[in-house]
Amino acid sequence: MVAATTRLIIAMMWWWPTYAAALQLSSHERLRVRCRMGRWDPPPTGGRSAAEDLSREAIAAASGAFVADARATVVELPRGATGIEWGTDLSFVGVYVRALEPGGAAELSGLARPGAQLVAINGTQVFNARFDEVMSLLGREAPVVNLEFFDGTRDDLFAATGISTNDVGDDLTITVKDGDRVVAEIPARKGVNLRDALVGYGLDVYRGTTRWTNCSGKQMCGTCIVDFEKGAEVTNRKSNDEDGTLNLQKCAPSTRLSCVTFAYGDVTVSLQPERSGFFGSATSGSAW
């Protein structure tokens, strides 16, 4: 009897302060307290207010995110040490975060989560690129990489971008002109790297001396320039670095560096005429 009374007193000493504090709360909050007193915590709802969503969207946009959505995040991680195990499905198109290395850079950032879709690398869209292409981009020589993630499923990602899943993964045609003459119509898959497609078809995207001094698609020489006649809107966004390199060479706004351009629909491009002078990337100083 004494032992039972002692246990009751101890239980009341634990329970009463919690119960008294609960009396000051709303009915909804009191319900949550009673659940805790009963040793059961309801799972978090994961919901955010509209203000929080707008704030996250603004942060994503300011960080250069391709997807204007509260679930988009841009994070800077060290190249080659991201702390991410990448995954893909049987189509080998699209890459997601399969797992995070405990204590790795991605986990410590708090911005990358397992299951998140990889949207872009350094401003280049990769959400519909092949796994090997994405890994190649991640392996580029650079001390850090800016990765954009989307915290959701692949279908959620396409819904957020306004792109139908029926419109991706199909074939496209790259029409290539040299002056007024069509020199090639190259079949490819959506998400194809433009330089790889052109060079693989045997076309010279460099012209002049840079056919011998170019960087072979490593995004360093800034000389694999093409001019878009049609389809620029179905390619990835032009980054500030790419725009600066082209402006330095006094190129038209319709031009792109083919090594950093990915096509998601039919495009028509013109090869650059041969030019002489000192052109190329501001960092490499290639001549063509």
Contact 239, 147 (CB under 8 A): no
Contact 69, 60 (CB under 8 A): yes
- Residue 215 pLDDT more than 70? yes
Residue 185 is predicted with a pLDDT of 96
CATH superfamily of this structure's domain 170-271:
Beta-grasp domain (3.10.20.30)
Q: Which two tokens mark 119?
A: 């949207």
pLDDT tens digits, residue range 51-62? Answer: 544 444 444 444
pLDDT tens digits, residue range 63-76? Answer: 456 676 778 888 99
> How do strand 171-178 and strand 255-257 relate by DSSP bridges?
unpaired
Q: What CA–CA distance (Å, rounded) separates 86 from 121?
A: 14
- Residue 7 pLDDT more than 60? no
CATH superfamily of this structure's domain 50-165:
PDZ domain (2.30.42.10)
3-state SS assignment for residue 279: coil
pLDDT tens digits, residue range 75-126? Answer: 999 988 899 999 987 667 789 999 999 999 999 998 889 999 999 898 888 8
Residue 185, CB half-sphere, CA atoms under 13 Å: how many?
Answer: 6
3-state SS assignment for residue 192: strand
Give the chain's count of helices (H) and strands (E).
9, 13
Work out the percent of the chain whose per-residue pLDDT is above 90. Answer: 26
pLDDT tens digits, residue range 137-186? Answer: 887 767 888 899 999 988 888 888 776 655 555 689 999 998 889 999 99
Return the domain boundaries, the chain: 2-37, 50-165, 170-271
Average confidence score pLDDT of the chain = 73
DSSP state, residue 39 = T
Q: What CA–CA distance (Å, rounded) separates 260 from 267?
A: 15
End-to-end distance of the chain based on CA atoms, in angstroms?
Answer: 98
